């Protein structure tokens, strides 16, 4: 059995390959002396040779679209660097901003870059432009208080503006150039989806993912003058989840449908070549594009075949070749012992609930099993390689990941079934999932746990209530645990996007809604909870403050319940550092072994060292990781 370190701390791992604009160079993420780093290489005699390495507090990189120049994001600064002269960096951080996010990169030398900033108001963003070096700031469009987003055409002029009305209706405004007035081309109901991108170079035709006048999201062609849609791809059972465009200004090349297993539908000649290259073997594949050359002929992709760890390839659509990039996965290949398949079960009220069932290959039933609830709730879990599931399966656990009602991906009807059903029918779906596992003989009584992060943590905590004691243990990460507090303190930047949150949970300004939130919040139902709890939180979480986890931990301890709690400094809403992920995984392994009886390594030296390293990193009076158990 491989240690948790072999899953979460592979020092040879490489990921996020991205070719430069002309494909001459390739950059990727990796590790150097235990720290994350960006590497740059070029091919020579069929081998990718490293020519530069960049370390520091980096969390993003990208190529200029007109030169082989790398842009590195380090803390709150942007640095431009020529990989062939790595010792010289140029600061290209947008000047005179407190908050900023680049949304359109310069496509040619001398072009401007466009960014949004919340400096004027924390609730709405304004659209600005600067030169590529971050200077010459000017305001392009000031938000009128209702603008959610803009789309720019190839001439770098805003051609689509999305506005939210007081009734929740979204108005999509269009103009062909800056001298023309804005004209409404669509008015979209709150529960409809319309995600537009431009595909016609003249700016007179668009493609979009749309659910207007239909239950499921389809890929459509959109006439901006009449607002009329022409369906390009749709599915009767699930939403079209994505459309891959190898060149941003061209029509989609591939549509992606995830009806259980992923399906890739070619829409162009390049799309046909792409699907032939990635689906060149039997079984199922999960494909992610991590980067492309400017002309879209060279693609860096990560492919997981039949849930095995991702391998990285360079696809040349011009000569129809496929090159395996160096990304050693041998450590986990031998440990591959899980099989995931799409399943469904019938809820107590007759609704069919989709889920993904992962089982250790060859393990006789029953097995100790973890029911997973995704966050959101406007999200869904999809089939594909998942390191957490693979890790748990290697310890002998089954995993049932539930797309409870309210999840996206299955049409408007299914999503709206979850509105105002927190603590009620949403919660019933998780309990029904556990009962289905027992009825199928997959799991045994007393050997069920529940897990989730963010809103999934809310669900996991409430699943421990009730007299049936269906679940013995809960793993709760970065969780909403006091819903009234959360709804009254959501991030200011969510201002124009709170409509869907309110449809799920109610209006915090309404006393009746607030009372319902409190009635079903885990923090206000501690006296009903049973079993054991593993809590984790990031001390710098900007979405769900760690204070909710602290208050919940305190209440659980006061109630005499079994609690282990870990708090990670320098981590936010979801964990980034491999040391954090490793320490958490090791604690999960030990926690589930104690509560459900699964396997665990007796000792994991690197996980232990990581725990001490995290503690020592902030020894000078700062908060650090703590693990406490009663």
For residue 35, the model assigns a pLDDT of: 80
The answer, yes or no, to whether residue 625 has pLDDT greater than 50, is: no
For residue 362, the model assigns a pLDDT of: 84
What percent of the chain lies above the pLDDT cut of 70? 95
Distance in angstroms (rounded) separating the CA atoms of residues 254 and 547? 44
For residue 623, the model assigns a pLDDT of: 40
Q: 340: which strand partners? A: 358
Average pLDDT, stretch 321-344? 74
The answer, yes or no, to whether residue 21 has pLDDT greater than 80, is: yes
pLDDT in tens, 85-109: 999 999 999 999 999 999 999 988 8
Distance in angstroms (rounded) separating the CA atoms of residues 45 and 628? 55
Distance in angstroms (rounded) separating the CA atoms of residues 606 and 615? 14
Number of C-beta neighbours around residue 500 at 10 A:
17
Distance in angstroms (rounded) separating the CA atoms of residues 428 and 451? 15
pLDDT in tens, 285-298: 999 999 999 999 99
For residue 319, give Cα distances in angstroms to 43, 212, 274, 297: 16, 40, 11, 9
Distance in angstroms (rounded) separating the CA atoms of residues 435 and 429? 10
The radius of gyration of the chain's CA atoms, rounded to the nearest angstrom, is 25
Q: Give the confidence band of 404 by pLDDT, cuts at 50, 70, 90.
A: very high
Distance in angstroms (rounded) separating the CA atoms of residues 480 and 461? 10
Residue/partner pairs of 66-69 with CB below 8 Å, 24 or more apart: 66/21, 66/106, 66/107, 66/108, 66/109, 66/111, 66/294, 67/21, 67/109, 68/20, 68/21, 68/22, 68/24, 68/25
Domains of the chain: 339-483+520-629 (3.40.50.1820)
The answer, yes or no, to whether residue 619 has pLDDT greater than 50, is: no
Residues 6+ apart with CB under 8 A from 306: 283, 284, 285
Burial class (CB in 10 A: 0-12, 13-18, 19+), 47: exposed
Average pLDDT, stretch 469-476? 96
Angle (nearest 5°) at CA 158 between 153 and 159:
65
**5 conformational bin, left if phi > 0, alpha if psi -120 to 50, beta if neither:** alpha
Average pLDDT, stretch 367-371? 97
For residue 98, the model assigns a pLDDT of: 94
Cis peptide before 125 (omega within 30 of 0): no
Distance in angstroms (rounded) separating the CA atoms of residues 368 and 4? 19
Q: Give the confidence band of 373 by pLDDT, cuts at 50, 70, 90.
A: very high
The answer, yes or no, to whether residue 427 has pLDDT greater than 90, is: yes
Q: Give the confidence band of 618 by pLDDT, cuts at 50, 70, 90.
A: very low
| Segment among 217-221, 267-271, 326-330, 452-456 with least mean pLDDT | 326-330
Q: Give the confidence band of 336 by pLDDT, cuts at 50, 70, 90.
A: low
The answer, yes or no, to whether residue 479 has pLDDT greater than 50, is: yes
For residue 203, the model assigns a pLDDT of: 66
Average pLDDT, stretch 50-70? 94
Angle (nearest 5°) at CA 340 between 337 and 341:
145
For residue 234, the model assigns a pLDDT of: 96
Residue 600: closest CA among 338, 386, 392 = 392
Distance in angstroms (rounded) separating the CA atoms of residues 413 and 493? 28
pLDDT in tens, 217-272: 999 999 988 889 999 999 999 999 999 999 988 899 999 999 899 999 999 999 99
pLDDT in tens, 429-450: 999 999 999 999 999 999 999 9
Distance in angstroms (rounded) separating the CA atoms of residues 289 and 117? 28
For residue 174, the model assigns a pLDDT of: 92
Strand order in the sheet with 77-81: 58-63, 70-74, 77-81, 89-91
For residue 622, the model assigns a pLDDT of: 40
Question: Tokens at residue 339, please?
Answer: 């099989």
Residues 6+ apart with CB under 8 A from 355: 342, 343, 344, 345, 400, 401, 402, 403, 433
The answer, yes or no, to whether residue 307 has pLDDT greater than 80, is: yes
For residue 542, give Cα distances in angstroms to 79, 378, 579, 621: 25, 19, 21, 22
Which of 152-166, 184-198, 432-446, 460-474 is most confident? 432-446
Residue/partner pairs of 79-88 with CB below 8 Å, 24 or more apart: 80/133, 81/54, 83/25, 83/27, 83/40, 83/51, 83/52, 84/51, 84/52, 86/40, 86/52, 86/53, 86/54
The answer, yes or no, to whether residue 121 has pLDDT greater than 80, is: yes
For residue 198, the model assigns a pLDDT of: 81
Looking at residue 529, the DSSP 8-state letter turns out to be B
Residue 287: closest CA among 255, 332, 251, 330 = 255
* 370 touches 339 (CB < 8 A): no
The answer, yes or no, to whether residue 116 has pLDDT greater than 90, is: yes
Distance in angstroms (rounded) separating the CA atoms of residues 421 and 444? 28
Helices and strands, number each (H, E), in the chain: 13, 36
State residue 461 phi and psi, 5-degree precision: -65, -45
Distance in angstroms (rounded) separating the CA atoms of residues 112 and 162? 22
For residue 425, the model assigns a pLDDT of: 96
The answer, yes or no, to whether residue 626 has pLDDT greater than 50, is: no
Distance in angstroms (rounded) separating the CA atoms of residues 19 and 55? 19
User: pTM here?
Assistant: 0.91
For residue 335, give Cα distances in angstroms to 2, 4, 211, 520, 593: 7, 12, 42, 41, 19
pLDDT in tens, 588-616: 999 999 999 999 888 887 777 777 666 55
For residue 612, the model assigns a pLDDT of: 67
For residue 1, the model assigns a pLDDT of: 79
pLDDT in tens, 507-560: 999 999 999 999 999 999 999 999 999 999 999 989 999 999 999 999 999 999
Distance of CA 578 to the CA centre of its chain: 17
The answer, yes or no, to whether residue 620 has pLDDT greater than 60, is: no
Q: Give the confidence band of 38 by pLDDT, cuts at 50, 70, 90.
A: very high
The answer, yes or no, to whether residue 331 has pLDDT greater than 60, is: no
For residue 327, the model assigns a pLDDT of: 57
The answer, yes or no, to whether residue 63 has pLDDT greater than 50, is: yes
For residue 595, give Cα distances in angstroms to 146, 446, 447, 473: 50, 9, 8, 7
For 557-586, the DSSP string reads: HHTT-EEEEEEETT-BSB---HHHHHHHHH
Residues 6+ apart with CB under 8 A from 542: 491, 572, 573
Residue/partner pairs of 134-137 with CB below 8 Å, 24 or more apart: 134/78, 134/91, 134/92, 134/93, 134/94, 134/95, 135/95, 137/94, 137/95, 137/96, 137/97
State residue 479 phi and psi, 5-degree precision: -95, 150
Q: 501: which strand partners? A: none
Question: Tokens at residue 156, please?
Answer: 């770098």
């Amino acid at each position: 059995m491989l240690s948790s370190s072999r899953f979460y701390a592979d020092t040879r791992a490489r990921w996020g390959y991205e070719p430069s604009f002309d494909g001459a160079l390739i950059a990727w993420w990796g590790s150097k002396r235990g720290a994350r780093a960006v590497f740059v290489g070029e091919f020579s005699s069929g081998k990718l040779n490293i020519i530069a390495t960049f370390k520091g507090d980096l969390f993003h990189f990208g190529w200029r679209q007109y030169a082989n120049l790398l842009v590195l994001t380090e803390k709150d600064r942007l640095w431009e660097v020529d990989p062939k002269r790595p010792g010289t960096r140029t600061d290209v951080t947008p000047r005179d901003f407190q908050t900023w996010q680049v949304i359109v990169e310069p496509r040619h030398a001398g072009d401007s870059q466009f960014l949004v900033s919340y400096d004027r108001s924390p609730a709405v963003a304004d659209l600005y432009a600067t030169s590529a070096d971050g200077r010459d700031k000017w305001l392009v469009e000031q938000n009128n208080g209702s603008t959610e987003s803009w789309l720019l055409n190839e001439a770098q002029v805003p051609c689509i503006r999305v506005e939210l009305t007081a009734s929740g209706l979204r108005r999509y405004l269009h103009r062909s150039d800056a001298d023309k007035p804005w004209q409404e081309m669509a008015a979209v109901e709150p529960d409809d989806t319309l995600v537009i991108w431009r595909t016609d170079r003249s700016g007179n035709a668009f493609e979009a993912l749309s659910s207007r006048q239909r239950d499921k999201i389809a890929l459509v062609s959109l006439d901006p003058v009449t607002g009329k849609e022409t369906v390009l791809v749709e599915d009767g059972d699930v939403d079209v989840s994505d459309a891959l465009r190898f060149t941003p200004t061209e029509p989609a090349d591939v549509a992606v449908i995830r009806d259980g297993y992923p399906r890739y539908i070619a829409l162009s000649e390049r799309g046909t070549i792409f699907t032939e290259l990635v689906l060149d073997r039997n079984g199922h594949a999960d494909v992610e594009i991590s980067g492309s050359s400017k002309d879209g002929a060279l693609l860096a992709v990560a492919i997981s075949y039949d849930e095995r760890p991702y391998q990285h390839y360079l696809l040349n659509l011009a000569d129809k070749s496929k090159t395996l990039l160096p990304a050693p996965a041998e450590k986990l290949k031998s440990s591959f012992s899980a099989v995931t398949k799409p399943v469904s079960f019938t809820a107590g009220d007759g609704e069919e609930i989709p889920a993904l069932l992962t089982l250790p290959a060859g393990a006789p039933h029953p097995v100790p099993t973890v029911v997973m609830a995704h966050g959101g709730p406007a999200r869904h879990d999809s089939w594909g390689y998942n390191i957490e599931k693979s890790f748990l399966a290697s310890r002998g656990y089954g995993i049932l990941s539930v797309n409870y009602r309210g999840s996206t991906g299955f049409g408007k009807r299914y999503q709206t079934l979850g509105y105002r059903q927190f603590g009620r029918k949403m919660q019933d779906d998780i309990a029904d999932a556990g009962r289905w596992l027992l009825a199928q003989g997959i799991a045994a009584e007393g050997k069920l746990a529940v897990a989730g992060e963010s809103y999934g943590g809310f669900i996991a905590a409430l699943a421990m209530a009730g007299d049936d004691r269906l679940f013995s243990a809960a793993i709760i990460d970065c969780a909403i645990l006091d819903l009234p507090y959360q709804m009254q303190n959501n991030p200011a930047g969510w201002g124009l996007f709170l409509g869907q949150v309110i449809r799920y949970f109610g209006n915090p300004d309404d006393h009746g809604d607030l009372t319902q939130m409190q009635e079903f919040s885990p923090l206000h139902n501690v006296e009903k909870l049973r079993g054991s709890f593993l809590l984790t939180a990031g001390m710098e979480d900007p979405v769900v403050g760690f204070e909710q986890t602290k208050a919940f931990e305190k209440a659980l301890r006061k109630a005499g319940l079994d609690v282990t709690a870990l708090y990670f400094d320098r981590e936010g809403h979801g964990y980034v550092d491999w040391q954090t992920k490793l320490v958490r995984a090791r604690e999960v392994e030990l926690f589930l072994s104690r509560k459900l009886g699964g396997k665990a390594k007796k000792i994991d030296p690197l996980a232990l060292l990581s725990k001490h390293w995290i503690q020592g990193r902030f020894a000078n009076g700062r908060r650090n990781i703590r693990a406490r158990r009663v």
